[in-house]
Amino acid sequence: MVAGMEDPELASIEKELVRLPAVNAARIVVDEIGRPKELHILATDEKSPKQIARDVQSVAMATFGMEIDHRIISVVQLDRGHIEPVIAPVGQARVSIGAISSEQRGMRNHARVTLMRGEDESIGLAEGSIAESSRNRAVAQATLEALRKLVSAAESADVETAAIVHLGTRDVAVVTLVFVVPPHEEVASGSAVVRGGNEPEALARAVLDATNRRLQAPTEGH
């Protein structure tokens, strides 16, 4: 690890990291003796957060001889404008994904999902450990939390499972939700193909797919 780095060197490293195709901005925070303690990356959804972190480590090592602990790397991904609307409860405007971020802070992962319906916008937050299963569940829970603020019927739902599975040559996000309709419980599943390595976006779409299946289901007797 390079110690005692001066500001010009930090600026050079940050400038080099921004040259990575998926990286829009980079910011290094150092401790009192000049060692990196936080590395914040703002990126597009072209690659998965794990791949972006690996690219950052490779550039730092190859260009500056700096070994960066993956645990200090925080990757925030924003995805706006190209995600199609997913859910449209009867009689309401369609709900679409506005932005998604999944950020690692130390040993915790923080998920933030923004959903939109017409001019209304809602934000859902959730966190868990950096374990893969916990990260997936956090994104699903944040999506559902945001949805509850837009669609009241989603109040009865909770995340049961959220995972990325391999089907043939593709990765697919699969989510199961439990809807509580006293005295019964109903399970709905949703799925979405991972596009461009963006697992959080696929998990959010899978949640909306599962919710859409339940909310759009015809009511018995109608």
Q: Is 93 a residue whose pLDDT tops 80?
A: no
DSSP assigned state of 63: H
Residue for token pair 């936080």: 38
Two structure tokens written together for 202: 């696929």
Q: Is the pLDDT of residue 127 over 60?
A: yes
Encoded tokens for 76: 């925030």
Condensed to tens digits (0 to 9), the pLDDT of residues 182-210 reads 777 888 888 888 888 889 999 999 999 88
DSSP codes, 129-173 = ESSHHHHHHHHHHHHHHHHHTT-GGGGGEEEEEEEEEEETTEEEE
C-beta separation of 216 from 89 below 8 A: yes
Which pLDDT band holds residue 125 (cuts at 50, 70, 90)? Answer: very high
The pTM score is 0.58
- 3-class SS of residue 200: helix
> For the residues of 70-102, what is the DSSP string, one character each?
GGGEEEEE---SSPPP-B--TTSPPEEEEEEEE
Please give the Cα distance from 185 to 158 (Å, whole number). 11
Give the separation between CA 1 and CA 28, rounded to whole angstroms: 14
d(CA 40, CA 184): 45
Q: What is the mean pLDDT of residues 132-161?
A: 90
Task: Please name each of the domains of the chain with its CATH number.
Answer: 7-77 (3.30.300.30), 95-215 (3.30.160)
Q: Residues 22-38: pLDDT tens digits?
A: 787 788 888 888 788 88
184, amino acid identity: H
* pLDDT(88) > 60: no
Answer yes or no: is pLDDT of 82 > 60: no
Beta carbons of 206 and 78 less than 8 angstroms apart: no
pLDDT digits (tens, 9 = 90+) for 100-123: 988 888 889 899 999 998 888 999
Angle CA 197–41–80, to nearest 5: 55
- Average pLDDT of the residues in 141-153: 90
Q: Which amino acid is at 155?
A: E
Average of per-residue pLDDT values in the chain: 80
Residue 11 burial class via C-beta count within 10 angstroms: exposed 0-12, middle 13-18, buried 19 and up: exposed
